[in-house]
Amino acid sequence: MDMVIIVLSALMFAGFVGGIEMQPTIENKIDVERYEVKDLKAEIRTLDQKVAKKNMDENKDIILLDVRTPEEYKELHIPKSILVTLDKIDEKVMLQKIPDKQATIYIYCRSGSRSRVAYEILYKMGYENVYNIGGINTWSYETERGN
C-alpha cells in the first residue's frame, strides 16, 4: 500500500512539475462525479472553466456544445458554440452536427444540470472525449448575444 502511494505521488508530482495540465479523465478520477440517467451509469468528466478556456485558446479543434433552448442561446452564449437543445440530441442530429466521435467536446448549459444529461446521452452514443464544463451562469470569459 505504501509503495502505491509513493508511486502515485511521484506520478502526480512529475505531471505538475513538468508543466502538464492534466485533463480530468475517468482513469485519474479528478473532478469526476456520478450521475444516472435511465439505467445508464457513467462517470461524468467535468472540467474547470478556467482550464477549459485555456485549452480552447490553445486548441481550436475543441467543440463547444450548448444544450440550452434557442431563446437562451440567442440571449447569451459562448462564441463559436454549437446549439443542440437537450431534447433534440439523438444519433441523427449529432452525426450531422459532430460526425467525429473522437472529437473533444465541451458541453455547457445554464447551470450544469442539462449538460450532465447531455454527457450521458453522448457517452451512450459513443462520443469518447466529452467534458462537462458546467453552466454559462459561471462563465467569466467572453460571451455574445444573437444567433
**Tens digits of per-residue pLDDT, 19-69?**
334 344 333 333 434 434 455 556 889 999 999 999 999 999 999 999 999
Domain limits for position 119: 22-138
Q: Note the pTM of the prediction, 2 decimals.
A: 0.73
Mean predicted confidence (pLDDT) in 88-96: 96
**Tens digits of per-residue pLDDT, 104-127?**
999 999 999 999 999 999 999 999
139 closest CA partner among 106, 117, 116? 106
CB 129 within 8 A of CB 104: yes
CATH number at residue 125: 3.40.250.10
Handedness of CA 42, 43, 49, 55 (dihedral sign): negative
Residue 134 within a domain: yes
Active site residues: 109
Q: How many domains are there within the chain?
A: 1
- Concatenate the DSSP letters of all residues of 43-86 into one string: EEEB--HHHHHHHHHH-TTPEEEE-S-HHHHHH-B-TTPEE--G
